[in-house]
Amino acid sequence: MTETPLVADPSQQLKNRVAARVRSQRKAQGLPRRVLSEMSDVSPRYLAQLEAGEGNISIALLHRIALALGLPVDSLLSEDAPQDREAQRIGELYREASPDVQRAVRGLLAPQNPAALRAGRICLIGLRGAGKSTLGKLASEALNLPFVELNREIERETGMPLAEVMAFYGQEGYRALEADAISRVVATHDRLVLAVAGGLVAEEATYEQVLQRFHTVWLKTSPVEHMQRVRAQGDLRPMQGNPAAMEQLKSLLDARAPLYRRADAQVDTSSKTVKSSLNDLLKVIASKGFLDGAAE
C-alpha cells in the first residue's frame, strides 16, 4: 500500500511567513519589541507568540502591527518575497537623502578597520560574583559613559522579569534574545560599559560578535569568592541541598576559562576591595586605549 505523502499545514506556513516578516521588519527598523508593542497597542506577549509562529493570528491586531511598522498588511501575508520591494524602497530613500546622509551611509557600508568597529564600547565578562554589575556601574560613572546590564535590556525588550523570560522562552529562546540584545546595544551605543551574563561566552556566534564589537575585560576571582559574593547578594540556591556545589563551580570555571581568556584584558578581583578593583579596571581601560579615538 502506497503511503500518502504528508502535506505541510497551510495555516502554519502562513503563521511562519508572517512571523518571519514581522520579526525581520522590526529588527530592520531597530525597534525593540517593547516599542513596537507601544506603537501598535499589541501586548509584548502576543508579539512574542506572533514572531514565534505560535497562536492564532488576529487580522485586526496584525493590521495594527503593520501600521506601526509602516507597511501594508498584505506585505506580511503575501507569498511573494518582500526583499525586492525593500531594496527598491531603500534605494529611493538613499536617492532622496542629503549628500551628508548619503556619505554616512556609504561609510557604514564600506569595509572598516576592526579596531574602529569596537568604538568606545567596553564589555565585562566573567562568572556571576566577579563584580561585573558593581564595577561596571562605578566605571561608567567614573568615565561618564552609559552602563547597560544585558539581562535588564532583555527584560525591557520582552516586558517580563528575567524569571518569566526563562520560563516562557526556555534556554534556547533566551540565548536568541541575548544575541538580539547585543545587536541593539551595538546599534544604539558607540560608547558604554556593558555587563553580560557569565554563560554568554558559551554561545559561539554571540561571543564572536561581542569580541568584534567591544573591548572585552574578563573580571575574575577565586571560586570561593564567587560563591561568597553570590550568597551575599541573597541567592542561597548555589549551596542549598547541594554539597557538591563548590566542585561544580570549580568545574564550570575551569571549562569556561579558555573562553574568558579570549578577552582583551583581565582584572583579578580576588581578595580586593571594590575601590581597589575599580582602580585596576580603570587602569586597564586607560593603558589599553579602549576609549582612544572613540566617537564622542
Reported as half-sphere exposure (CB side, CA atoms, 13 A), residue 283 has a value of 9
| Spatial separation of the C-alpha atoms in residues 175 and 164, rounded to whole Å | 14
Q: Do residues 157 and 180 lie in contact, with contact meaning Cβ atoms separated by under 8 Å?
A: yes
Q: Which three cell numbers stand for residue 53?
A: 509562529
Please give the distance of CA 243 from its chain centroid, rounded to a whole number. Answer: 34
Q: 226: which residues sit within 8 A by CB, 6+ positions away?
A: 127, 128, 129, 130, 249, 253
| Spatial separation of the C-alpha atoms in residues 48 and 23, rounded to whole Å | 9
pLDDT over 80 at 105, yes or no: no
Taking only the tens place, the pLDDT of each residue in 51-75 is 888 767 677 778 888 787 877 777 7
Q: Do residues 240 and 234 lie in contact, with contact meaning Cβ atoms separated by under 8 Å?
A: no
pLDDT at 241: 47
Taking only the tens place, the pLDDT of each residue in 169-220 is 888 889 999 999 999 999 899 999 999 998 999 999 999 999 999 999 999 9
pLDDT at 289: 92
- Give the other-Cβ count within 10 Å of 6's Cβ: 6
- Give the other-Cβ count within 10 Å of 48's Cβ: 22
Q: Which helix (H) or strand (E) holds 172?
A: helix 162-188
Q: What is the pTM of this model?
A: 0.61
Among residues 224, 214, 207, the alpha carbon closest in space to that of 265 is found at 214
Q: Which three cell numbers stand for residue 230?
A: 553570590
Taking only the tens place, the pLDDT of each residue in 216-244 is 999 998 877 767 776 766 554 544 445 57
pLDDT at 7: 46
| Spatial separation of the C-alpha atoms in residues 288 and 265, rounded to whole Å | 8
| Spatial separation of the C-alpha atoms in residues 181 and 25, rounded to whole Å | 16
Among residues 84, 82, 106, the alpha carbon closest in space to that of 94 is found at 106
| Spatial separation of the C-alpha atoms in residues 195 and 219, rounded to whole Å | 10
pLDDT at 153: 93
Q: Do residues 139 and 193 lie in contact, with contact meaning Cβ atoms separated by under 8 Å?
A: yes
pLDDT at 60: 76
Q: Which helix (H) or strand (E) holds 87?
A: helix 83-96
Write the CA distances from 158 to 134, 180, 207, 209, integer angstroms: 24, 11, 22, 22
Question: Which domains can be identified in the chain, with CATH numbers?
Answer: 10-77 (1.10.260.40), 117-287 (3.40.50.300)
Q: 105: which residues sit within 8 A by CB, 6+ positions away?
A: 94, 97
Query: If you ran DSSP here, which 8-state letter would residue 202 be given?
Result: G
| Spatial separation of the C-alpha atoms in residues 183 and 166, rounded to whole Å | 20
